[in-house]
Amino acid sequence: MTKAKMPRSFNDRMFALRLERSRDDLFGMLERLYGHRTDYAAFADDLTAALKAGWDARPERLKWRDMERDLEPDWFQRPDMNGYVFYIDRFAGTLSGVPDKLGYLQDLGITYVHFMPCLKPRPGDSDGGYSVMDYTEVNPALGTMDDLETVARACHDRGMSVCIDLVLNHTAKEHEWARKAWEGDETYREYYHMFVDDTLPKSYEATLVEVFPANAPGNFTYYDEINRWVWTTFNEHQWDLNWANPRVFLEMVKVMLFLANKGVDVLRLDAPAFLWKRMGTRCQSEPEVHMLLQALRAASRISAPSVIHLEEAIVSPAEMLPYLGRGEHDGKEGNLAYHNSLMVQFWSALAARDTGLMTHVLRRHFPTVLTNATYATYIRCHDDIGWAVTDEDAAAVGLSGASHRAFLSEFYEGRFPGSFARGALFQVNEETGDKRISGTTASLAGLEAALEAGDQDAIARAVDRILMGHALIASYGGIPLVYMGDELAQLNDYSYLDDPDLAHDSRWLHRPRMDWQRAARLPDGGATPEGQVYDGIRRILARRAASPGLHGAVPTEIVDTGQAGHFAFVRRAPTGPIVCVFNFTDQWSGLPAAWFARQGASRMYDLLSDAPVFAPDGGVPLPPYARVWMT
């Protein structure tokens, strides 16, 4: 920029600098997406004005936060980042109840909180809040935008970052844009995918998959009143936005900056895989999706630089990585993305008592390091578990994909002989045979059945499975997310069946209300299974925070122990490797000290238990569901 053009005020100069830093990342993509349109120049001007307006409106407090995070751009990769995910109503009643609960979270070691959908949903069934009718208002049942701002500030004061959902793929059909489209406003009809007859919908449908085959079959809905077909990938009330229209991009940037300026640090971009439609494809993860996501990321980087993006792409392993920026998007797309494969493989290996597939998938598809990005790791979330295991990956380890997926569903439904799990099916697809699973961590890991049977050994094993899972996600690389109530070992909640708005959706099985009475009795010195789980998770998070070698930028290299029940990786930290081993079986096993030494861990100190490991026979004993982080 020449001197003459340099703006005078500090604020304007800062904006100019930030715009220049990311101009190519933004407009480079937008020109390719929209440059052919006659309205492109006007759009580009409007976008620049929106970015400037967003920056001008940004509170000074948050501009300091921007500065801080410019100075420590790895903040979200640090090992003291520990996440917690909750529904505001089920956790604290309303937003104004949240500050009182932050002490509890801080005590658990939490530095990142994800409030499940909290923007104004449509009335009635809103897909758990993912059917949004106003992005600029908070769900009135939870509070107001001012409350959100207050809570975000309270979190910041405690050193916690705040994440909220931003649904990009669709709005509720009650959203103002959709209402205008309904009334015939052509400008707003362009915001959605509307068709006068079913010719195109039928052609698209030939290659589309169904997300909710059981209760929302098909991807299009016909409305007699307007004589139009509307693209509705998810539920009928969720209308897909038309991202080929640059006005949609512009609207969403305004929404993003509005939310960022309320103090949100992390935007969880919901279901981004579906943003771009292309005839003859599944309309998932098309190249344009990554261009859009890079451009959105650049927009945040310009006008709300401390904000990062978490991408929710629940797709196959190979398809997921690009959401963290691959190829030309390297380092420029999602800062975070859910590691769905790690979650799926955890449950798969637990059921199979064999880690062959897990080791294959995680080694084959995932690089040892990511640029300017890391995973959000988890063992359970608010959604079902879909068995994202491809036929190719299964075949590579001698399994049939279809049989293994069927086995996993049966196992976690609790029907497979010898299964320890209690779960429920979700969205059985009669055509493909695909079955997904709902259930809480504790119930899927065997605690519900063990408690019912009064079987002390089985209870102990369930607790160990849960803690092994948490030790895995806390060390693999990425921000581990504790899903509300999991730290209390909360079991399945069958009460959703009595609520007509929820009964059709078994995901409510694992969305129980927070059991504060139970929480009040903890810690209990390990007297109860929930006490053991709570202490165990708290300790895992504390040990993670105290282990610099678990930083997200440290390579994760999958290694073999030579035993079918072990999963192992080495975090190759500059300060020396950390060798993480997990025993996925209910049998005792062991590993020679020499094996650890070969991986570089000759000190034989377990960071997780914070104690030296004595290996009298030269072997490290690994009890059922053991977990060690050896240095």
Residues 6+ apart with CB under 8 A from 256: 166, 267, 296, 299, 300, 304, 307
**Part of the chain binding ligand GLC (CB under 6 A), chosen from 61-69, 122-130, 183-191, 202-210:** 122-130
Amino acid (1-letter code) at residue 574? P
CA distance 564 to 359: 10
Number of chain residues interacting with ligand GLC (CB under 6 A): 10
**Part of the chain binding ligand GLC (CB under 6 A), chosen from 126-134, 405-413, 544-552, 588-596:** 126-134
Is position 271 an interface residue for ligand GLC (rule: CB under 6 A)?
Answer: yes
**Part of the chain binding ligand GLC (CB under 6 A), chosen from 123-131, 139-147, 411-419, 598-606:** 123-131
Which residue, 381 or 468, is less far from ligand GLC as judged by CB? 381
Which residue, 111 or 232, is less far from ligand GLC as judged by CB? 232
Find the shortest distance in angstroms from Cβ 386 to ligand GLC.
Answer: 10
**Part of the chain binding ligand GLC (CB under 6 A), chosen from 125-133, 218-226, 283-291, 535-543:** 125-133
Which residue, 312 or 606, is less far from ligand GLC as judged by CB? 312
- Interface residues for ligand GLC in 139-198 (CB under 6 A)? 167
Is position 241 an interface residue for ligand GLC (rule: CB under 6 A)?
Answer: no
Residue with the two structure tokens 């451009």 = 295
Q: What residues pair up with 437 in beta bridges, in sequence order?
A: 385, 425
The three-state secondary structure class of 12 is: helix
Is position 455 an interface residue for ligand GLC (rule: CB under 6 A)?
Answer: no
Other C-beta atoms lying within 10 Å of the C-beta of residue 107: 10
Residues 6+ apart with CB under 8 A from 511: 87, 90, 128, 382, 493, 496
Q: What are phi and psi of 622, to 5 degrees?
A: -125, 95
Which residue, 304 or 444, is less far from ligand GLC as judged by CB? 444
Alpha helices in 109-185 (DSSP H): 145-157, 176-182
Other C-beta atoms lying within 10 Å of the C-beta of residue 290: 24
Which residue, 171 or 261, is less far from ligand GLC as judged by CB? 171
Considering 270, 333, 434, 493, which one is annotated as catalytic? 270
Pull the structure tokens for residue 331.
């380092």
Amino acid (1-letter code) at residue 417? P
Which residue, 212 or 582, is less far from ligand GLC as judged by CB? 212
The three-state secondary structure class of 181 is: helix
Find the shortest distance in angstroms from Cβ 338 to ligand GLC.
Answer: 9
Which residue, 115 or 625, is less far from ligand GLC as judged by CB? 115
Find the shortest distance in angstroms from Cβ 208 to ligand GLC.
Answer: 15
Which residue, 177 or 569, is less far from ligand GLC as judged by CB? 177
Is position 512 an interface residue for ligand GLC (rule: CB under 6 A)?
Answer: no
Residue with the two structure tokens 């509070």 = 143
The backbone region for 478, taken as left when phi is positive above 0, alpha when psi lies in -120 to 50, beta otherwise, is: left
Which residue, 166 or 445, is less far from ligand GLC as judged by CB? 166
Q: What are phi and psi of 630, to 5 degrees?
A: -90, 135
Which residue, 239 or 534, is less far from ligand GLC as judged by CB? 239
Residues 6+ apart with CB under 8 A from 70: 305, 306
Output Rg (C-alpha) for the chain, integer angstroms.
24
User: Largest Cα–Cα distance in the chain?
Assistant: 79
- The interaxial angle of helices 246-260 and 287-303, nearest 10 deg, is 40
**Part of the chain binding ligand GLC (CB under 6 A), chosen from 124-132, 351-359, 367-375, 414-422:** 124-132
Find the shortest distance in angstroms from Cβ 313 to ligand GLC.
Answer: 9
- Interface residues for ligand GLC in 370-389 (CB under 6 A)? 382-383
| 312 tagged catalytic | yes
CA dihedral 488, 491, 492, 496 (to 10 degrees): -60
> Side-chain half-sphere of 145: how many Cα atoms within 13 Å?
10
Is position 270 an interface residue for ligand GLC (rule: CB under 6 A)?
Answer: yes
Find the shortest distance in angstroms from Cβ 85 to ligand GLC.
Answer: 11
The three-state secondary structure class of 615 is: coil
Find the shortest distance in angstroms from Cβ 556 to ligand GLC.
Answer: 25
CA distance 480 to 518: 23
Considering 125, 312, 464, 586, which one is annotated as catalytic? 312
Cβ-proximal residue to ligand GLC, closest one? 130
Pull the structure tokens for residue 426.
């979700």
Find the shortest distance in angstroms from Cβ 163 to ligand GLC.
Answer: 13
Nearest to 538 by CA among 441, 490, 471: 471
The three-state secondary structure class of 562 is: coil
Is position 130 an interface residue for ligand GLC (rule: CB under 6 A)?
Answer: yes
Find the shortest distance in angstroms from Cβ 168 to ligand GLC.
Answer: 9
| 197 tagged catalytic | no
CB burial readout 234-269, b (16+ within 10 A) else e: bbbbbbbbbbbbbbbbbbbbbbbbbbbbbbbbbbbb
Alpha helices in 304-417 (DSSP H): 317-320, 340-352, 356-365, 391-396, 401-413
Find the shortest distance in angstroms from Cβ 142 to ligand GLC.
Answer: 17
Which residue, 130 or 569, is less far from ligand GLC as judged by CB? 130
- The residue within the footprint of ligand GLC, chosen from 234, 375, 420, 508 (CB under 6 A), is 234
CA distance 88 to 96: 10
- The residue within the footprint of ligand GLC, chosen from 127, 311, 486, 606 (CB under 6 A), is 127
Find the shortest distance in angstroms from Cβ 268 to ligand GLC.
Answer: 9
Active site residues: 270, 312
Give the residues lining the site for ligand GLC (CB under 6 A): 127-128, 130, 167, 234, 270-271, 312, 382-383
